[in-house]
Amino acid sequence: MPKTDYEKNNFDIDLDFGRKGEDWVVEVFEGSNKIEVKTERGIWKNTGNIAIEIEYRGRPSGLTTTNADIWIHLLEYEGKIVGGFLLPIELLKKKFRTALKGNTLKTVMGGDENASKLMLLPIKEVFE
């Protein structure tokens, strides 16, 4: 049965929309972007937070000093990568500023010898 004009138009719109996403991914990985990749241990599953380092041994590090354009944050659970997200660095920093203003951002010490200052951001706020 031939497609109606409505079905054809929706397909064209969906195809154009999908191509924009594909083009962005190609640009991220094949363009001149610098990428920072972090893997979150499984504790996120219980807390609903991601932890991003901002200092190490009292010196700025992590998100505060990265030269990357894109941040990839992978979510590990029971030894396997189960998902994640990628954001332009400036957008991720904006998410943290918004959370700081909204008082939903917590700071803790962690990592080796508790030498890293980490910001805990609720995962749901990454996508708001």
Chain segment 90-107, per-residue pLDDT in tens: 999 998 888 888 877 889
Total-model pTM? 0.79
Average pLDDT over residues 101-128: 89
Whether 116 contacts 61, CB under 8 Å: yes
- Degrees, nearest 5: CA angle 42-116-33: 75
Q: Where are the beta strands (DSSP E) in the chain?
A: 35-40, 49-56, 59-60, 70-77, 80-88, 106-110, 116-122
**Banded pLDDT at 20 (limits 50, 70, 90):** confident
Given this model, what pLDDT does residue 70 score? 94
Locate the domains of the chain by residue range: 1-31, 34-126
Q: Share the mean pLDDT of the chain.
A: 87
